């Protein structure tokens, strides 16, 4: 099971938002590119980066940061999400070196675009952002669809997508412990490779995920965001658990 630190970017700054609300953003005094370098140099193999400016405001405010990540050869260590809503933009990011891309809105609204991305060496990861057991949020969490999560995941599997990141919006950025029940049901019923995000706030959460992964190896990893920035989990501890 991999442990993946998360960096959310808004207007070029490192932030964490409570349940994705930009009016409840907490700013952290880190240079995003230097922080990625620090994670990688410490032995963490993957960093989760979300472009919230593009996801929420459809803005290119973070493009300079993404370009710097690319030029420093760090894109291969990044899974990038946030506002990837067209095949043109996705392929542009692929040219910059961002192979692992987290996509939600395009899959919901333009599923016919996905084969094009897969055929152009984009590793498409579906960002399953849920509020409750039957509501999927997308377009920067401003839109939603009420549907059967499992039926929808069967459809994306038919598209050729093999991996999802499941975020529990109700606890994202809150430092409140999350339930793993829906995630476990998804793994058992869909056989999709799954990474957990949202509400990973303590060693107890990491240990719960690790124990689940022992019996259900399709649980591939967990994403740690605010817990790192608030000093609850250190880089060294993430590296230890990742091993």
Question: What does the domain layout of the chain look like in residue ranges?
Answer: 2-242
Average pLDDT, rounded, for the chain: 88
How far apart are the C-alpha atoms of 34 and 205, rounded to whole Å?
A: 27
Give 100's pLDDT tier (boundaries 50, 70, 90).
very high
Q: What is the mean pLDDT of residues 4-9?
A: 96
Range name among 14-23, 33-42, 95-104, 138-147 with the lowest pLDDT average = 138-147
* Residue in 51, 129, 168, 205 annotated catalytic: 129
Catalytic annotation present for 172: no
* 3-state percent breakdown (helix, strand, coil) of the chain, nearest 5: 40, 30, 30
| Model pLDDT, residue 104 | 86
pLDDT at 189 over 80: yes
Question: Which one, of 25, 11, 39, 1, lies nearest residue 172 by Cα?
Answer: 25
Is 41 a residue of the active site?
no
- Please tell me whether the overall predicted TM-score, pTM, comes out greater than 0.75 for this model: yes
**202 by DSSP, 3-state: which?**
coil
Q: Which residue is catalytic, options 8, 51, 168, 205?
A: 8
The CATH T-level fold of domain 2-242 is TIM Barrel (3.20.20)
Q: Tell me the CB-side half-sphere exposure of residue 47, using CA atoms within 13 A.
A: 28
pLDDT of 135 reads: 60
């Amino acid at each position: 099971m991999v442990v993946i630190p998360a960096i959310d970017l808004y207007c070029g700054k490192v932030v964490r938002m409570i349940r994705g609300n930009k009016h409840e953003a907490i700013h952290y005094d880190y240079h995003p590119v230097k922080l990625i370098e620090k994670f990688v140099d410490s032995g963490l193999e993957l960093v989760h980066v979300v472009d919230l400016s593009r996801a929420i405001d459809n803005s290119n405010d973070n493009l300079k940061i993404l370009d710097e990540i690319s030029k420093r050869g760090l894109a291969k260590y990044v899974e990038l999400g946030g506002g990837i809503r067209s095949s043109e933009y996705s392929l542009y990011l692929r040219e910059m070196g961002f192979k692992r891309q987290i996509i939600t809105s395009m899959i919901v609204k333009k599923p016919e675009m996905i084969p094009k991305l897969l055929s152009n060496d984009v590793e498409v990861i579906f960002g399953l952002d849920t509020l409750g057991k039957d509501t999927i949020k997308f377009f920067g969490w401003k839109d939603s669809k009420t549907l059967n999560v499992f039926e929808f995941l069967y459809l994306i599997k038919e598209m050729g997508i093999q991996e999802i990141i499941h975020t529990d919006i109700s606890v994202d950025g809150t430092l409140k412990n999350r339930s793993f029940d829906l995630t476990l049901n998804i793994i058992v019923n869909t056989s999709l490779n799954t990474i957990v995000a949202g509400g990973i706030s303590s060693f107890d959460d990491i240990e719960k995920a690790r124990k689940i992964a022992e019996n259900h190896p399709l649980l591939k990893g967990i994403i740690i965001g605010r817990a790192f920035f608030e000093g609850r989990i250190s880089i060294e501890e993430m590296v230890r658990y990742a091993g």
